[in-house]
Amino acid sequence: MADFVKKWYVVRAIGGQENKVKHYIENEITRLKISDYIEQVLVPTEKVIQIRDGKKINKERVYFPGYIMIEANLSGEIPHIIKSIPGVIGFLGEVKGGDPVPLRKSEVNRMLGKVDELSVQNENVVIPYIIGESVKVVDGPFNGFDGTIEKINEEKRKLEVMVKIFGRKTPLELSYMQVEKVS
């Protein structure tokens, strides 16, 4: 088939179901053999670290809840096919129910750059602490104790904090997430 000009559009989806809707769209592309019209479907996400029950959990969170990016040539029946997919509310446009409005190149670059940035950024977090700094333990068995940072292990992302327990100085190995700066 001829090479179509594809632009990026934003599809509105039911919040919390972005990945499910993306999966439905991809299945329809395969089923109807319309991959010439739709290049890619993207749900922008960011990696976040949460602490649950004292354990650090890496989770992926949708960056723009309720929105999916799609690179497509919206000619013929393509917009109707996408709108008929379960969970799809419609396209983002200037007028309600009007024609889908493509994203500007600067918006696409910013969003795609942001997506790439977020997936890479996870591992190179800047160390927010310095040796000799006073910190308060906010998680774990020594919650509430104050201490001083003695060592910083960048590879393990751990701090050695000297804490006074029963009048004696005791070293504790804690993650960055288990302490906060004392102001």
Q: Backbone dihedral region of 57: left (phi > 0), alpha (psi from -120 to 50 degrees) or beta? A: beta
pTM for this predicted structure: 0.58
Q: What is the pLDDT of residue 156?
A: 78
Distance separating alpha carbons of residues 85 and 4, to the nearest angstrom? 23
Residues 121-131: tens digit of each pLDDT: 544 556 678 88
Q: What is the mean pLDDT of residues 61-67?
A: 87
Which domains does the chain possess?
A: 7-121 (3.30.70.940), 134-181 (2.30.30.30)
Q: What percent of the chain has pLDDT over 90?
A: 30
Q: What is the pLDDT of residue 75?
A: 86
| pLDDT score of 15 more than 80 | yes
